[in-house]
């Protein structure tokens, strides 16, 4: 597209040049005959093969951390109408399409590219945000690197559509990384790019009814292929697999994700799906681990997250379960990623309560997992008042109970009570959080640290706590109990009978949420 036309659309010269660079890059890799990129892996203990990566071991920092916070934030946040806006705005009749038509016009005239300048980040203060997250107990912070919308949140070498060239004009990843390092937190990035080729294909369609029926959306314009891809099929139902994704897209994915890893050398890299594109993906993971080993005396301490259990079954990576909890104690460290609300910010959204977040955290930790919790940022980049309140409640609870969270390991059983379910495969766990009910005082979760057993009672009874699993004749009975403390309160009176342990509670409870007992 000529520079003059871009500037006529309200796009700055800097942004226009970035877009033109992106077009040139994409055009250079459009054909299947394009020369294959050279896969380069930093020297170190791993090679780009599953056999080599099978020797990977999850670092202790991740096993000890238990709690991380994520900022799922980008140009789609500018509209404040929820997740997947850039895809759904091109799907006639969906709520986000109707919102778009009402507020901006039909996507045949006003497309996603025209919304990117609206992401202004006017109140974005990464040092303040990450400082709040550290106070709330997060041991690692994760920035989105690139979402399905094909927009890089760093000064990308290979893609002109990025947050330095457009939108806020800021290196979001770099600023978050600096803030995390100042706070002494591990830093991670996420990539959702591999499926973009299909995900963004709706931008190539058109309305089927109404005054703009059969008028192509702007994604069909080859001048914008660098943003919308050159996909020729409109995937209205999204098959979450690699079928139909061309080699040229795999190469672009590799270049950009390697640039992200090489530039910021994160402690954690998360892929929204399985480890993609085999040789390309294996090279990315080996490179991540080898760069980490170089910084850590030859021992890799980075984490790669895949959502495919088979990827992580024999080393290689750490399993991530989206919005779900595995039923049972997983044999290796794993992670749940979820959000207090929608993934991208939605005005007037209904958020998880502090109790729901704390119940999730304790439940996940008892099963050998970590919780990565997203706080969606609005256009401004500042948390809203409800999110601040939730964060404050988490902070207060962690100040009392964090010793029963950090550095712990699972006990013989993760818990007991009406909420416990038969063990199922991790593959069945994704998105199962929607079926959860608030845990009660009849639900107990356990963690251990050295000789200490911690028992979380997930509700707050008035006078007495009853824990059947700690009775003298229980299947997993402790040989003896010498002392019990209620964290945040002190020693408590207790009696141990054949079938249960009974603990008397003080009149003043240290928390409104799960109570943690230290048992030695």
pLDDT digits (tens, 9 = 90+) for 344-370: 999 999 999 999 999 999 999 999 999
Q: Residue 431 has what pLDDT?
A: 75
Query: Which is it for the CA torsion 276, 190, 227, 36, positive or negative?
Result: negative
Packing angle of the helix pair 247-264, 279-295 (nearest 10 deg): 10
Kindly state the average pLDDT of the residues 493-504. 97
Is residue 29 classed as helix, strand or coil in its secondary structure? coil
Residue 134 has, within 13 A of its CA and on its CB side, a CA count of: 16
Report the predicted TM-score, pTM, of the whole model to 2 decimal places: 0.93
Q: 10 Å Cβ neighbour count for 440?
A: 15
pLDDT at 22: 44
Helix locations, 296-417, DSSP H: 309-312, 354-366, 385-401
Does the pLDDT value for residue 471 go beyond 90? yes
For residue 23, is pLDDT > 80?
Answer: no
Question: Does the pLDDT at position 425 exceed 50?
Answer: yes
d(CA 158, CA 180): 25
Mean pLDDT of the chain: 93
Q: What interhelical angle do 385-401 and 354-366 show, nearest 10?
A: 40
- Is 371's pLDDT higher than 60? yes
DSSP lists the bridge partners of residue 369 as 334
Q: Which pLDDT value is given to residue 406?
A: 98
Q: 421 falls in which pLDDT band (50, 70, 90)?
A: low
Chain CA centroid to CA 494, Å = 41
pLDDT value of position 424: 53
Is the predicted pLDDT of residue 295 greater than 90, yes or no?
A: yes
Query: What's the CATH number for 439-519?
Result: 2.60.40.1180
**Per-residue pLDDT tens for 304-350?**
999 999 999 889 999 999 999 998 999 999 999 999 999 999 999 99
Q: What are phi and psi of 272, to 5 degrees?
A: -80, 75
pLDDT higher at 505 or 14: 505
For the segment 382-407, the average pLDDT, to the nearest whole number, is 98
Q: How far apart are CA 430 and CA 428, in angstroms?
A: 6
Residue 397 has pLDDT above 60, yes or no: yes
3-state secondary structure 69-135: EEECCCHHHHCCECCCHHHHCCCCCCHHHHHHHHHCCCCCCCCHHHCHHHCCCCCCCHHHHHHHHHH
Which of 235, 207, 133 is CA-nearest to residue 176? 133
> What per-residue confidence (pLDDT) applies to 316?
96
Where exactly are the structural domains of the chain? 439-519
Share of the chain above pLDDT 90, in %: 88
Side-by-side strand order, sheet with 484-486: 415-416, 444-449, 452-457, 515-519, 484-486, 490-491
* pLDDT of residue 21 exceeding 60: no
Q: What is the mean pLDDT of residues 412-421?
A: 90
Q: Is the pLDDT of residue 31 over 90?
A: no
Per-residue pLDDT of 456-466, as tens digits, reads 999 999 899 99
What digits encode the pLDDT tens for the residues 113-146? 999 999 999 999 999 999 999 999 999 999 999 9
pLDDT at residue number 32:
34
pLDDT tens digits along 63-118: 999 999 999 999 999 999 999 999 999 999 999 999 999 999 999 999 999 999 99
Retrieve residue 252's tokens: 């672009």
Residue 420's pLDDT is 85
Hey, what are 84's tokens?
């997947």
Q: Please tell me the predicted confidence (pLDDT) of residue 233.
A: 96
């Amino acid at each position: 597209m000529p520079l003059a036309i871009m500037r006529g659309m309200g796009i700055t010269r800097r942004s226009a040049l970035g877009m033109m660079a992106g077009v040139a890059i994409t055009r250079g890799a459009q054909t299947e005959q394009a020369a294959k990129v050279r896969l380069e892996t930093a020297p170190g203990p791993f090679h780009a093969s599953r056999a080599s990566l099978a020797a990977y071991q999850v670092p202790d920092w991740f096993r000890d951390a238990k709690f991380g916070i994520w900022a799922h934030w980008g140009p789609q946040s500018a509209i404040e109408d929820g997740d997947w806006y850039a895809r759904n705005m091109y799907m006639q009749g969906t709520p986000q399409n109707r919102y778009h038509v009402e507020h901006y016009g039909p996507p045949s005239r006003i497309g996603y590219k025209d919304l990117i300048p609206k992401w202004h980040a006017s109140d974005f203060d990464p040092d303040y945000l990450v400082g709040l997250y550290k106070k709330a107990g997060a041991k690692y912070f994760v920035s989105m690197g690139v979402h399905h919308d094909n927009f890089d949140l760093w000064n990308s070498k290979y893609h002109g559509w990025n947050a330095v060239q457009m939108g806020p004009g800021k290196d979001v990843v770099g600023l978050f990384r600096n803030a995390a390092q100042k706070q002494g937190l591990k830093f991670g990035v996420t990539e959702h790019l591999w499926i973009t080729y299909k995900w963004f294909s709706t931008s190539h369609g058109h309305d089927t009814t109404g005054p703009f029926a059969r008028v192509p959306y702007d994604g069909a314009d080859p001048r914008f292929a660098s943003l919308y891809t050159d996909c020729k099929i409109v995937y209205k139902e999204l098959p979450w697999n690699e079928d139909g994704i061309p080699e040229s897209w795999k190469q672009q994915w590799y270049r950009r994700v390697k640039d992200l890893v090489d530039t910021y050398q994160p402690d954690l890299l998360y892929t929204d799906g399985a480890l993609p594109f085999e040789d390309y993906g294996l090279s990315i993971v080996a490179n991540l681990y080898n760069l980490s080993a170089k910084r850590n005396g030859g021992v890799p301490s980075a984490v790669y997250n895949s959502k495919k259990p088979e990827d992580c079954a024999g080393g290689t990576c750490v399993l991530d379960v989206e919005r779900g909890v595995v039923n049972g104690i997983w044999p290796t460290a794993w992670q749940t990623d979820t959000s207090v609300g929608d993934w991208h910010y939605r005005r007037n959204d209904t958020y998880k309560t502090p109790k729901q977040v704390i119940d999730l955290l304790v439940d996940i930790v008892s099963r050998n997992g970590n919780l990565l919790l997203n706080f969606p940022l609005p256009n401004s980049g500042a948390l809203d008042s409800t999110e601040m309140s939730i964060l404050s409640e988490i902070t207060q609870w962690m100040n009392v109970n964090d010793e029963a969270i950090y550095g712990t390991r699972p006990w013989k059983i993760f818990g007991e009570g009406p909420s416990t379910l038969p063990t199922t495969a991790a593959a069945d766990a994704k998105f199962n959080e929607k079926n959860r009910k608030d845990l009660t005082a009849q639900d107990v979760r356990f963690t251990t640290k050295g000789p200490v057993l911690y028992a979380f009672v997930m509700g707050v009874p008035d006078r007495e706590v009853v824990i059947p699993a700690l009775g003298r004749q229980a299947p997993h009975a402790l040989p003896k109990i010498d002392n019990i403390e209620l964290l945040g309160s002190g020693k408590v009176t207790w009696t141990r009978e054949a079938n249960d342990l009974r603990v008397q509670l003080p009149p003043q409870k240290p928390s409104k949420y799960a109570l943690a007992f230290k048992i030695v």
